Amino acid sequence: MASLSFRAIQKSYGSTKVLHHVDVQVGDGEYLVLVGPSGCGKSTLLRCIAGLEDISAGELWIGDRRVDQMAPRDRNVAMVFQSYALYPHMTVRENMGFALRVQRRPPAEIEAAVLQAAKMLELEHLLDRYPGQMSGGQRQRVAMGRAIVRRPDVFLFDEPLSNLDAALRHHMRVELKRLHRRLETTIVHVTHDQVEALTLADRILVLNGGYVQQFGSPRELFDTPANTFVAQFIGSPSMNLLPAVGSGGEVRIEGVEGALALDRSGPFTLGVRPTDLVVGSGPLKGRVDVIESMGAEALLHIELGPHTIVAQVPEPLRVRVDELVPLDVGVTHAFDRESGVRL
Amino acid sequence: MARRPSTPEVVLTHAAIVGITMVTLYPVLWVLEMAFSPSQSFSMDLSPIPSEVTLDNFRDVIGTFDDEGRWLFGRQLLNSVIVSVATAVLGLSLSTTAAYALSRWSFPGREQGMAAFLVTQMFPGVVMAIPLYLLLDLFGLLDSRTGLVLVYATTSVPFSVFTLKGYFDTIPVALEEAAMLDGASRWMTFRYIVLPLARPALAVTGLFSFMTAWNEFILALTLMGSEDAYTLPVVLQGYVGDFGTEWGRFAAGAVIVSLPVMALFFALQRHFVEGLTAGGVKG
Ligand SMILES: Nc1ncnc2c1ncn2[C@@H]1O[C@H](COP(=O)(O)OP(=O)(O)OP(=O)(O)O)[C@@H](O)[C@H]1O
Ligand SMILES: [Mg+2]
């Protein structure tokens, strides 16, 4: 167990810079989730921690050891690869025990460690199988087991749930939470699934194009997104963003009749989460364009002047397609028009 | 669902299989017939069943002695075995490491090196007979097994490297990264992850190197001057004379030379299985 500290880390491939100044401290035993769109540098950052890639500038510390010049094998981190990377010629038992065999631990100790991890992951009945004889979810658990057996300082998970079906993914998400509570080891988990991020993380690091967008608890990211990127990336469906201008205690949305009672002046970007839209009363008028029913709730796609916004409302509905509905806003967010930064 | 083949189909298929088998086996049976017949003439008999069976030919081929009364055939068989095994071992160890490096690292001269390997394959071995003769002469390795092993091993390396590199390329790098994170050194990763996974390719290239050395004739004839140093193909050729060929002994020799190769094939067969890397990584 150890804390993890990124100090002004940069990473370039030749002249292409893929990580710009990552400077973040992760506490001992924290569950850190790295999110961002495809190609934003998540895997690269993870591989830098593992030592599979060299960092171009900055320092990486695990606990009180500076590790960025160390070989992967000396860093005491365990990684669950996006592809699982199980040794195909070894049984589950041998896969999970490999790290300990490399360390020349006594066979009895290896067997005990493997059994304990297998029990935790419900893999006991699969110990003599080969990776080729198992389902995706089982392999995923073996990959996890191989990491657990090591008792590393830090776990690194690269999109470990991405290839599982929805039900299994949910199950494994719960398993991961349980595992973390039991082991209390620092975890860095990469995903591009914001639900995974919100449910698992103690803290989330949002990356975009190699830049850190925000670092904070799921609550912080959801309630006070640092910019329009985070605002749209975290939360599903995405936050509605509308160009607005305020003056004298009133805010008008461009191209829309009616004014909202908000205290802000000058042009800005107004952000409203679909759950924070009030349908049925209010100063604005929109036309219902599409209704997506999801059982307990429905998504209304509403034409508001030249804009289309999404509202999430409870079922049963009292509106029909093409109906004109009055609208109001609850909690709102304000961002700079140019930079997108939170005001 | 597979359709059940109709009776005429079954009959025709089996007839075809029997026909092809006969065409394939007939020449082999003919060699066997000559090997077991007492006559030394070329058999023109259509039937592959010998009218008279004798082991004389085998006895003659195996039972050769040199001037001092030492067992010549034994010595020559030993030459062949030692040279072929050493060629396979040396060739395989050189080409495995070379192929791994070519597959995993990029370094200056990598592309050129690969191209150079290809270029060497354009020339038949005979072209190099004279330069090789001079080289071995220079190092005093003419007439020696060591010389022959060096020649064979180096000529088998390019093909082996290509085969093995192609195979290493299919082994996901993530497996090695996982092993390194598990605390394995470079060497351990190579030894415990890469080599076991490459077993089918190692078996094929090893067998190939062995057979190249086992069957090679022209260089062996050129570089080995004395009967003592001959390998079996050269010995075999001795039965094909200027004034007449001892076909019976030649055939018996051919049978003897093929046996070890067949045995080796059967022994290695189970290693030729494909799909060893299945299930390691998804997708
Ligand atoms: N070996 C490399 N050489 C050059 N560029 C690379 C290399 N590896 C990755 N990149 C680039 O670095 C950027 C970040 O890649 P990375 O794999 O970290 O993305 P990611 O966030 O993990 O994406 P995904 O969600 O698709 O896995 C990408 O733009 C990619 O093209
Ligand atoms: Mg990735």
What DSSP letter does each residue of B163-204 carry, written as one string? Answer: HHHHHHHHS-HHHHHHHHHTT--HHHHIIIIIHHHTHHHHHH
Q: Are A98 and B247 in contact (CB under 8 A)?
A: no
Least distant ligand from the CA of A52: 1
Neighbours of ion ligand 2 (CB under 5 A): A 43
A13 and A29 belong to one structural domain = yes
The model's confidence at residue B279, banded by pLDDT at 50, 70 and 90, is low
A8 and A45 belong to one structural domain = yes
The atom number, within ligand 1, closest to the CA of A40 reads 21
User: Nearest C-alpha of chain B: how many angstroms from A98?
Assistant: 7
The model's confidence at residue B283, banded by pLDDT at 50, 70 and 90, is very low
| In a domain? residue A113 | yes
pLDDT (average), residues B34-45: 79
Q: Could A50 and B185 be called an inter-chain contact, meaning their C-beta atoms sit closer than 8 Å?
A: no
pLDDT tens profile A85-142: 999 999 999 999 999 999 999 999 999 999 999 988 889 999 999 999 998 888 988 9
Preceding omega of A237 cis (within 30 degrees of 0): yes
A35 and A157 belong to one structural domain = yes
CA-nearest residue, atom 5 of ligand 1: A13
Which residues in B252-264 are b (16+ Cβ under 10 Å) and which e?
bbbbbbeebeeeb
Higher pLDDT, B125 or A245: A245
Higher pLDDT, B92 or B41: B92
Instruction: Report the amino acid identity of residue B56.
Output: D
Least distant ligand from the CA of A193: 1
Task: Tell me the whole-structure pTM to 2 decimals.
Answer: 0.81
Residue ending a domain, among A213, A233, A253, is: A233
Q: Are A271 and A240 in contact (CB under 8 A)?
A: yes
Chain A residues inside the 8 Å CB shell of B278: 88, 131-132
A180 and A315 belong to one structural domain = no
A125 and A180 belong to one structural domain = yes
Q: Which residues of chain A have pLDDT under 50?
A: none
Ligand 1 neighbours (beta carbon < 6 A) = A 13, 16, 18, 36, 38-44, 192
Q: Are B218 and B126 in contact (CB under 8 A)?
A: yes
The model's confidence at residue B280, banded by pLDDT at 50, 70 and 90, is low
Residue ending a domain, among A211, A233, A255, is: A233
Q: Are A274 and A316 in contact (CB under 8 A)?
A: no
Cα(A15) to centroid(ligand 1), Å: 14
B15: tokens are 């007839």
pLDDT tens profile B159-203: 899 989 999 999 999 999 999 999 999 999 999 999 999 988 999
A166 and A245 belong to one structural domain = no
Question: Which of B241, B239, B248 lies closest to B30 in space, CA to CA?
Answer: B248
- How far is C-alpha A157 from the chain's CA centre? 12
Long-range Cβ contact pairs of B107-114 (< 8 A, separation 24 or more): B114/B165
The atom number, within ligand 1, closest to the CA of A45 reads 18
Interface test with B, best of A13, A52, A105, A153 (most B CBs within 10 A): A52
Question: Which of B199, B209, B213, B216 lies closest to B272 in space, CA to CA?
Answer: B199
A246 and A172 belong to one structural domain = no
Query: How far apart are alpha carbons A212 and B264 in whole angstroms?
Result: 61
A79 and A228 belong to one structural domain = yes
Backbone angles phi, psi at A115, to 5 degrees: -60, -40
The residue to which tokens 């508001």 are assigned? A304
- Statement: residue B273 has pLDDT above 60: yes
In chain A, how many domains are there? 2
Residue-level length of chain B: 283
Handedness of CA A260, A261, A267, A269 (dihedral sign): negative
Q: Is A282 helix (H, G, I), strand (E, B) or coil?
A: strand
Give the class (CATH, top level) of B72-280.
Answer: mainly alpha
Which of A6-15, A68-77, B88-97, B241-250 has the least mean pLDDT?
Answer: B241-250
Cα(B198) to centroid(ligand 2), Å: 28
| In a domain? residue A162 | yes
Which residues in B114-133 are b (16+ Cβ under 10 Å) and which e?
eeebeeeeeeebeebbeebb
| In a domain? residue A343 | no
Cα(A18) to centroid(ligand 1), Å: 7
| In a domain? residue A101 | yes
| In a domain? residue A328 | yes
Higher pLDDT, B275 or A254: A254
- Statement: residue B12 has pLDDT above 70: yes
Among chain B residues, the shortest Cα distance to A134 is held by B279
Residue B194: the pLDDT is 94
- How far is C-alpha A219 from the chain's CA centre? 13
Q: Are A276 and A330 in contact (CB under 8 A)?
A: yes
- Statement: residue B101 has pLDDT above 90: yes
| In a domain? residue A63 | yes
Residue ending a domain, among A233, A256, A277, is: A233
| In a domain? residue A19 | yes
Residue ranges per structural domain of chain B: 7-11+15-57, 72-280
B186: tokens are 């470079």
Long-range Cβ contact pairs of A120-128 (< 8 A, separation 24 or more): A120/A145, A120/A148, A120/A179, A120/A182, A121/A145, A121/A148, A121/A175, A123/A92, A126/A92, A127/A91, A127/A92, A127/A93, A128/A91, A128/A92, A128/A93
Chain A residues inside the 8 Å CB shell of B184: 73, 98, 102
Q: Could B182 and A132 be called an inter-chain contact, meaning their C-beta atoms sit closer than 8 Å?
A: no
A157 and A121 belong to one structural domain = yes
Q: Could A133 and B279 be called an inter-chain contact, meaning their C-beta atoms sit closer than 8 Å?
A: yes
A32 and A138 belong to one structural domain = yes
Question: Which of A252, A245, A304, A249 lies closest to A277 in space, CA to CA?
Answer: A304
A146 and A264 belong to one structural domain = no
Helices of type H across chain B: 7-36, 56-62, 72-104, 110-120, 129-138, 145-170, 173-181, 186-189, 195-197, 199-215, 218-223, 232-237, 247-268
| In a domain? residue A260 | yes
Q: Could B280 and A146 be called an inter-chain contact, meaning their C-beta atoms sit closer than 8 Å?
A: no
CATH of the domain at A134: 3.40.50.300
- Statement: residue B54 has pLDDT above 80: yes
A33 and A128 belong to one structural domain = yes
Pairing of strands A186-190, A31-35: parallel
Residue A311: domain span:
240-335
